[in-house]
Structure 1
Amino acid sequence: MTTISAPFAAAGSATTVLCAERCHLGEGPSYDAASDTAWWFDILERRLYEQSPSGGAHRVHELPVMASALAVVDDRRQLLSTEQGLMLREIATGRLAPVAAIEAEDPATRSNDARVHPSGTFWVSTMGKRAENGAGSIYAFRAGALLRLFAGISIPNAICFSPDGTVGYFADTRENTLCRVELDPLTGLPEGEPQALHRHPGAGGLDGAVTDAEGLIWCAIWGGGRVNAYSPAGELVRSVDVPARQPSCPVFVGRDFGRLLVTSAHEGMDDAARAADAGHGQVFLLDVGVRGRAEPRVRLGGL
């Protein structure tokens, strides 16, 4: 475990509001460079949003289930992580079809954080709908098969991978600990046990994360109003303000992956808290001066 031991830059950045509509629980942003489209969810309101980070109006798609993340399959389809498991979505029609049930026997859990490994394996997670202690797990969906990787996690978040696919990261927000695990880069599956990398001190919790082209881990700090960047050694190297108290997850967007899109939420905030937080639930673009990379497409196997 590494704590802060070196100076870091607590700096602002050029920030714009991409979408001013306020999400109850904005989460799970992803970006499809081929269509220049960003996607994100309002989990609790069962909505999927789409918008180009280059500008224009956003679109809202109502969903029959709570969903929290998606992976691009091809130009026509997406794979959604939902409270009922993985579902294939046709982009043109919005039609959903079940692919793999996840904890279908337990109506008390729902999907949460997710991200695609460079091999095409989709890591997805679950948690209790009331954030019950130890109710969550992380799974890997690879070529049509589902495998539970880690269990007993209260609020699984920060799922992301090193650019070469040899290391996976994840956090339990309740424990405020970021972990790393060695991976087989060809499969995205663990080759050892997770090890604590960084324990977040002070206010806020480790939420969604993404790595940039150089391998820095950019993690939203829920309740802290910022995104922190950590080195692969777990050192805090940069902290960037977000104009919302509860940022939830970042993703790099744009044709050159040069901006950081960050979702936020007003879950659990009363009227006074929302009034004091001008950006609550909005989606932002941050010019952080680094480059990300394209999100891999998920491999479905025979589907």
Structure 2
Amino acid sequence: MAMNGVSVFSDHICELGEGPSYDPATDTLFWFDIVNGKLLEKPLAGALKVHDLGVMASAIAVIDDDRQLIATEIGLQVRDVKTGKLTLHTPIEADNPLTRSNDSRVHPCGAFWTGTMGKGEEKGAGSIYWFFKGELRRLFSDITVSNSICFSQDGATAYYTDTATGFLMRVACDPATGLPTGEPKVFVDHRSSKGYVDGSVVDRDGVLWNAVWGGSAVKAYAPDGKLLREIAMPATQASCPAFIGQKADRMAVTSAWKGKDEMQRKLDPQAGMTFLLDIPVNGRFDPRVLIA
């Protein structure tokens, strides 16, 4: 059953569906079931493949036609597209078994912002890092749940949240490097709204599309932070959107059943599925990541 242009893209149930990323070269959506160490791959007009990674992973970026960069619980790993083999490229908190990777995205210049968090959402256990051409820097620490990492098309603005705070932040960036140039400011105060700020993407018009975890919704915010529209989702815990299709004019949205007991799951039967939002959006593709 479709609601408001929302239909099921994949009925594969993820405990923690996250990190959707579309590769226009292969017309394929990739996403993760983080806690179960799975990478999911589905061409828009093809069958689902599930890859067992053997490690918790949460985000993927294209390096070139043969390689992808994956954010995992031990750091950034290079994945060979043909064989699926993972090779550790840059360790991140690899010596800390309590943390794992979470929300991440490629800046327009090819830099990668990648977040960590405690596996049990321990307070302040996570950070957000900047990775560019082999260099790694910590940008923000004392983060409980890193999320909503995304950028304006010109690369001059970055967004992120610590979901636990209820504040979606924005910070000025150097378009050439993706490094912050100013102090973060509150973009949206979501504290009095239902649910939590989870993953986000920014379209060509500067509109930020945010998945609301626990709020059964995707919300769209204008560049000034004003709420433009809210789209009801068929799963309570929507987790992250991605622009898909050859024109980037639609969205896929992941979801999760994590934290729900049997009765709650019965009331939320599509929790963990991945959805297609067939509403007109002026989306854009994530750039390739520069690892060297």
1:32 maps onto 2:27 in alignment: no
1:260 maps onto 2:251 in alignment: yes
Q: CA deviation at 1:109?
A: 0.4
Partner of 1:5: none
**Which among 34, 45, 66 is matched to residue 76 of structure 1?**
66
1:221 maps onto 2:219 in alignment: no
1:210-258 C-alpha deviation (Å, 9 max, x unpaired): 0111110000000000100111211111101111000100000000111
Partner of 1:148: 138
Between stretches 23-32 and 287-296, larger displacement belongs to 287-296
- Cα distance in 2 between the residues matched to 1:118 and 1:25: 27
Partner of 2:291: 300
Q: What letter is aligned with 1:133?
A: K
Q: CA deviation at 1:192?
A: 1.0
Tell me how many residue pairs correspond in the alignment. 289
Q: CA deviation at 1:77?
A: 0.5
1:122-181 C-alpha deviation (Å, 9 max, x unpaired): 000000011011111000110001010011111110000001000000011111100000
The percent of aligned pairs where both chains have the same amino acid is 51
Task: Describe the SS at the equivalent of 2:263.
Answer: helix
**Which among 226, 229, 232 is matched to residue 238 of structure 1?**
229
- Cα distance in 2 between the residues matched to 1:47 and 1:103: 20
- Cα distance in 2 between the residues matched to 1:294 and 1:208: 16
1:47 maps onto 2:47 in alignment: no
Q: CA deviation at 1:106?
A: 1.2
- Cα distance in 2 between the residues matched to 1:279 and 1:258: 24
Structure 1: give runs of 5+ residues left out of the alignment.
Answer: 1-11
- Cα distance in 1 between the residues matched to 2:156 and 2:279: 25
Between stretches 85-94 and 282-291, larger displacement belongs to 282-291
Q: What letter is aligned with 2:202?
A: T
1:180 maps onto 2:197 in alignment: no
Residue 74 of structure 2 contacts residue 95 of structure 2 at CA under 8 Å; is this kept in 1? no
1:196 maps onto 2:153 in alignment: no
* Runs of 4+ residues over 2 Å off in structure 1: none
- Cα distance in 2 between the residues matched to 1:290 and 1:70: 22
1:96-138 C-alpha deviation (Å, 9 max, x unpaired): 1010110122110000000000000000000001101111100
Task: Describe the SS at the equivalent of 1:185.
Answer: coil
Q: CA deviation at 1:189?
A: 0.4
Q: What letter is aligned with 1:140?
A: W
**Which among 253, 262, 270 is matched to residue 261 of structure 2?**
270
Q: What letter is aligned with 2:122?
A: E
Task: Describe the SS at the equivalent of 1:174.
Answer: helix
- Cα distance in 2 between the residues matched to 1:214 and 1:279: 31
- Cα distance in 2 between the residues matched to 1:90 and 1:116: 19
1:129 maps onto 2:129 in alignment: no
Q: CA deviation at 1:287?
A: 1.4
Q: TM-score, normalised by structure 2?
A: 0.97
Q: What letter is aligned with 2:207?
A: L
Partner of 1:3: none
Q: What letter is aligned with 1:175?
A: T
1:166 maps onto 2:156 in alignment: yes
Partner of 1:108: 98
Q: CA deviation at 1:202?
A: 2.3
Task: Describe the SS at the equivalent of 1:148.
Answer: strand
1:206 maps onto 2:194 in alignment: no
Q: CA deviation at 1:288?
A: 2.0
Task: Describe the SS at the equivalent of 1:273.
Answer: helix
Structure 2: give runs of 5+ residues left out of the alignment.
Answer: none
- Cα distance in 2 between the residues matched to 1:244 and 1:293: 25
Q: CA deviation at 1:56?
A: 2.2
- Cα distance in 2 between the residues matched to 1:275 and 1:113: 28
- Cα distance in 2 between the residues matched to 1:288 and 1:28: 20
Query: CA RMSD of the aligned region, Å?
Result: 0.8
